[in-house]
Amino acid sequence: MTLGLTTVNLGLFLATLAQARLSGAQAPTPVLRARMFELVDERGRMRARLNIESGGEAVFRLVDQEGTIRVKLGAAEDGSGLLLANDADGLERVIVP
């Protein structure tokens, strides 16, 4: 009797667990809108940012662990673009498309 009851309880528990896992799966949001996105590392430090500057330029920055911007990609409203890359010595290189 005890073994039968334990088996039934285990079966109910597993069925409930399976149902919870299925209902926990969510469909992706079709559109995510924001004025700024930041990716942070495990210590909460910003490592990447995508935002719109006050002049309307869309800018994407990649930052190293020390907080130095290593890559900056910008696109202005007039259609111009800019790519800056900083090497390990801090030398900034401008790459014009």
Answer yes or no: is 3 within a domain.
Answer: no
Does the pLDDT of residue 12 top 70, yes or no? no
Answer yes or no: is 10 within a domain.
Answer: no
Where helices occur in 1-97 by DSSP H, the ranges are: 2-24
Answer yes or no: is 29 within a domain.
Answer: no
Return the pLDDT at 93.
Answer: 74
Does the pLDDT of residue 22 top 60, yes or no? no
Q: How many alpha carbons lie under 13 Å from residue 28 in its C-beta half-sphere?
A: 3
pLDDT tens, residue by residue, 34-80:
989 999 999 999 999 999 999 889 999 999 999 988 899 998 888 88
Q: In which domain, by residue range, is 66 found?
A: 36-95
Q: Which residues of 10-20 are buried (b: 16+ CB within 10 A; e: fewer)?
A: eeeeeeeeeee
Q: For residue 76, what is the domain's CATH number?
A: 3.90.930.1
d(CA 86, CA 33) in angstroms, rounded, equals 30
The number of domains in the chain is 1
The residue count of the chain comes to 97
Answer yes or no: is 83 within a domain.
Answer: yes
